[in-house]
């Protein structure tokens, strides 16, 4: 339940902040007539994400055996890629509020309400896609209580966003995003490692004679309660292969390198 709560909290909060910034800007500039386009965009974005979830579920239901393992491996890699992209996108958005206001102001000046709807719909859909992919990947890994976790995460994010905008609190949301980013980096690495595991099972990647390199089943079995939780949360396995360990470590190193590289680019632009 916790992984679902965490991912939906972060994704919903990101979408809610975008919607809140747009609505606040329209209210302060006395352009409330465009608010209906904002809510239309929210509805379209959610609807598109739900369609993706249904399509993914129907698509997955048709697989079995080796084909199922291949699909699961690909899904793990794709989801890890989306999570990495999400982390980097948030990391780069140092002045997202200003950019949003400029875009909305442009559409308002042109009396182009549809442009505002598209802007909001894309933002909501983007967060919805990432949520759908992660929840599907974690369900494959065996996570239970996803529905409750997702509902709690969405409710908490909406409540937090409402408080922030309703009472104009100047909270440092970077703390929230930095903390969740740590978990998401480990989520992504775990998904990559699991994708490697699936590809090894079908023979796409080699399994060496000395695999698994560790066997911690007697200490912490990944099929037990705690082990299952760590497997879903961080990709833990009691019997990792060399390629799984390498993939996990390389994924974390790559994301950290990307963040540092992005920081250097931002500093270069400022300079």
pLDDT digits (tens, 9 = 90+) for 27-59: 888 888 889 999 999 999 999 999 988 888 887
pTM for the model: 0.74
pLDDT digits (tens, 9 = 90+) for 162-189: 887 777 555 556 666 777 778 788 888 9
pLDDT for 270 beyond 60: no
Cβ-proximal residues to 7 (8 Å cutoff; 6+ apart), any chain: 130, 131, 134, 135, 153, 184, 187
Nearest to 49 by CA among 152, 184, 154, 143: 154
pLDDT for 23 beyond 60: yes
Banded model confidence at residue 253, pLDDT cuts 50, 70, 90? very high
pLDDT for 261 beyond 90: no
What is the spatial distance between Cα 219 and Cα 206, in angstroms, rounded to a whole number?
A: 27
pLDDT digits (tens, 9 = 90+) for 198-248: 899 888 999 888 888 988 888 888 778 788 778 777 778 889 999 999 999
Cβ-proximal residues to 4 (8 Å cutoff; 6+ apart), any chain: 135, 138, 143, 145, 146, 147, 148, 149, 150, 153
What is the spatial distance between Cα 153 and Cα 142, in angstroms, rounded to a whole number?
A: 19
Of 100-104, 194-198, 250-254, least confident by mean pLDDT is 100-104
Terminal C-alpha separation, the chain: 45
What is the spatial distance between Cα 185 and Cα 255, in angstroms, rounded to a whole number?
A: 7
pLDDT digits (tens, 9 = 90+) for 65-116: 788 888 888 888 988 888 888 777 766 665 666 777 888 888 888 888 899 9
Nearest to 161 by CA among 18, 1, 30: 18
Four-residue CA torsion sign, 98, 99, 104, 109? positive
Higher pLDDT, 261 or 22: 22
Q: The tokens of 57 are what?
A: 């579920």
Four-residue CA torsion sign, 220, 239, 72, 65? negative
Q: What's the pLDDT at 96?
A: 65
Host domain of residue 33 = 2-270
pLDDT digits (tens, 9 = 90+) for 142-153: 666 677 888 888
Instruction: Supply the angle between the helices 2-28 and 225-234 in degrees, to the nearest 10.
Output: 40
- Provide the 10 A C-beta neighbour count for residue 70: 16
CB contact at 8 A, 56 and 136: yes
Q: What's the pLDDT at 199?
A: 92
CA 9 to chain centroid, in Å, comes to 10
What is the spatial distance between Cα 203 and Cα 174, in angstroms, rounded to a whole number?
A: 43
Higher pLDDT, 164 or 121: 121
Domain count, the chain: 1
């Amino acid at each position: 339940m916790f992984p679902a709560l965490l991912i939906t909290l972060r994704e919903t909060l990101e979408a809610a902040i975008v919607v809140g910034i747009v609505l606040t800007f329209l209210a302060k500039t006395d352009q409330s007539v465009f608010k209906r386009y904002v809510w239309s965009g929210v509805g379209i974005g959610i609807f598109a994400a739900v369609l993706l979830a249904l399509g993914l579920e129907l698509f997955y239901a048709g697989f079995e055996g080796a084909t199922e393992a291949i699909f699961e491996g690909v899904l793990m890699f794709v989801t890890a890629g989306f999570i990495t992209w999400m982390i980097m996108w948030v990391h780069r958005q140092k002045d997202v509020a200003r950019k949003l206001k400029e875009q909305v102001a442009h559409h308002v000046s042109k009396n182009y309400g549809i442009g505002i709807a598209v802007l909001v719909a894309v933002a909501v859909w983007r967060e919805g896609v990432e949520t759908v992919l992660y929840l599907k990947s974690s369900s494959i890994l065996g996570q239970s209580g996803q529905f409750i976790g997702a509902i709690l995460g969405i409710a908490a994010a909406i409540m937090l966003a409402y408080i922030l905008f309703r009472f104009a609190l100047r909270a440092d949301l970077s703390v929230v995003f930095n903390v969740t980013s740590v978990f998401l980096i480990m989520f992504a690495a775990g998904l990559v490692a699991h994708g490697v595991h699936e590809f090894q099972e079908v023979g796409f990647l080699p399994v060496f004679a000395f695999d698994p390199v560790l066997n911690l089943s007697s200490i912490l079995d990944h099929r037990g309660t705690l082990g299952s939780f760590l497997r879903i949360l961080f990709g833990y396995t009691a019997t990792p292969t060399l390629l799984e360990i390498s993939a996990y470590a390389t994924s974390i190193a790559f994301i950290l390198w990307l963040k540092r590289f992005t920081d250097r680019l931002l500093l270069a632009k400022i300079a």
